[in-house]
Copies of this chain bind each other. A is one copy, B any other.
Amino acid sequence: MRIHVQNPASDPEFSITEAQWRAAIDRHPDMVGMEVSFATDEAGLAAALPEAEVLLSWVRPLKQRFPVGVLPGAAPRLKVIACTSAGVDSAAPFDWLPDSVALLNNRGTHSDKAGEFGIMAILMLQTHMPAFADQQRRGEWKPRFASTLAGRSVVIVGMGSLGGGVARRARGFGMHVIGLRHGSEPHPDCDETHPTEALDEVLPRAEFLVLACPLTERTRNLLSRERIALLPQGARLVNIARGAVWDQDAVCDALEAGRLGGCVTDVAVPEPLPPDHRLWRTPGMVVTPHVSADDRERYNDRTLDILFDNLRAMREGRAMPNRVDPAKGY
C-alpha cells in the first residue's frame, strides 16, 4: 500500500517524522511493507498523488486544494484521506469528496489530554479560581470555601473523544455525569445518557456544563441565550468544543449579571482573539488559547496508531472506526 504523509509547512512541531513512522511500524508489525513518502510542499504532494492510496494530511488545506470534481483525476488510486485533527469542520461541506474515498478524522488522539483539561477546569470553577485570580490582581486575601466535587452534577454535550475523556475523569471524582450524544446509546462513563434533543430538559440540572461536541450546522449556537436562561443560578461552564457552539456574548452577559458562577473556555470567536476583545476581561471568565486537547509529545504517535487501526479494519473488511459521515459532519 502506498501512503503519502503531507505535513504542515507552517507548524513543523506537528510534522510526522520518519523516525515516528518507523516506531509506529514497530508497534504495528503487520503494517510493515507499506511504501511511504513525506512532503511539506505542493511539489511533493503533486508528485505523490497519482500513486497514493492513502493520504495522511492536516485538514486545513484539503478543501482548497481539491475543488469539487478535482480529486478523482488528481488521485485516481486514492481510497483513504486521514486527517490529523479530530474536528473536520473546516473541510465541510464535503462536496469535494468522492464517495469512493473514505475520510477519517483523528478522534481518539485527544481523549486523555482533554479529560485532564476538563477536570482541571471543573476543579478550578468549583474552587473559585476565577475569583481568586481577580483577588490576586488586587492583592486581596479573602477566603471563599468550596466543597468537593462528589455528588455534583455535570452535563457533557458530545460524548466523543473529548467528552468521553472528561466523563471518565468526572466519574473518578464521584460526580453525577449526564452525557448527551447523537442517539442515546448508554456511555460507560455516564450515569445517564440522553440524545442531544433532550438538552432543554437536562440544562436545569447542570451544576456544571461542558461543551465538547463537534461544530456542525446542528451544534452552531447550541447554547443560545435562551438555553443559558435554563441553567440553574450559579451554573459553571467549560467550552472545549468551538466558540461558535455557544452564544459568546450571551455567556459574557450572563457572567456580568451574576447568573453564571464562572467559565473556562479554550475556544473563542475569532481565534486568535484580538487583545481588546470583551472575552478577555469578562469577570469570572478564564480564557486559554486552544490548548485543551493537543498533547504534542504523544500526538503523532497516537495519530499513526489510529491510522493503522483503521487501515487494518479496511484490510479485514470491517468498518473503519474513524470514518467521517459527510452528512453528519463528524
Task: Name A residues whose Cβ lies closer than 8 Å to a Cβ of B.
Answer: 112-113, 116-117, 119-120, 123-124, 126-129, 132-133, 135-150, 172-173, 268, 271-277, 280-281, 286-291, 294-298
Please give the distance in Å from A110's CB to the nearest CB on chain B: 11
Residue among B117, B137, B290 making CB contact with A127, cutoff 8 Å: B117
A116 lies within 8 A of B112 (CB): no
Residue among B128, B147, B172 making CB contact with A297, cutoff 8 Å: B147
Residues of B within 8 A of A289 (CB): 132, 135, 141-144
Residues of B within 8 A of A137 (CB): 137
- Number of chain copies forming the complex: 2
In the bound complex, what is the Cα–Cα distance between A144 and B143 (angstroms)? 30
Residues of B within 8 A of A147 (CB): 113, 295-298
A295 lies within 8 A of B148 (CB): yes
Residues of B within 8 A of A113 (CB): 147-148
Please give the distance in Å from A120's CB to the nearest CB on chain B: 4
Please give the distance in Å from A254's CB to the nearest CB on chain B: 19
In the bound complex, what is the Cα–Cα distance between A149 and B291 (angstroms)? 15
B139 lies within 8 A of A276 (CB): yes
A145 lies within 8 A of B287 (CB): no
Provide 20 A-B residue pairs closer than 8 Å at the C-beta atoms, listed in order of the A residue: A113-B147, A116-B126, A116-B127, A120-B120, A124-B129, A128-B291, A132-B286, A133-B133, A138-B275, A139-B274, A139-B275, A139-B280, A141-B289, A143-B290, A144-B289, A145-B294, A145-B295, A147-B295, A147-B296, A147-B298
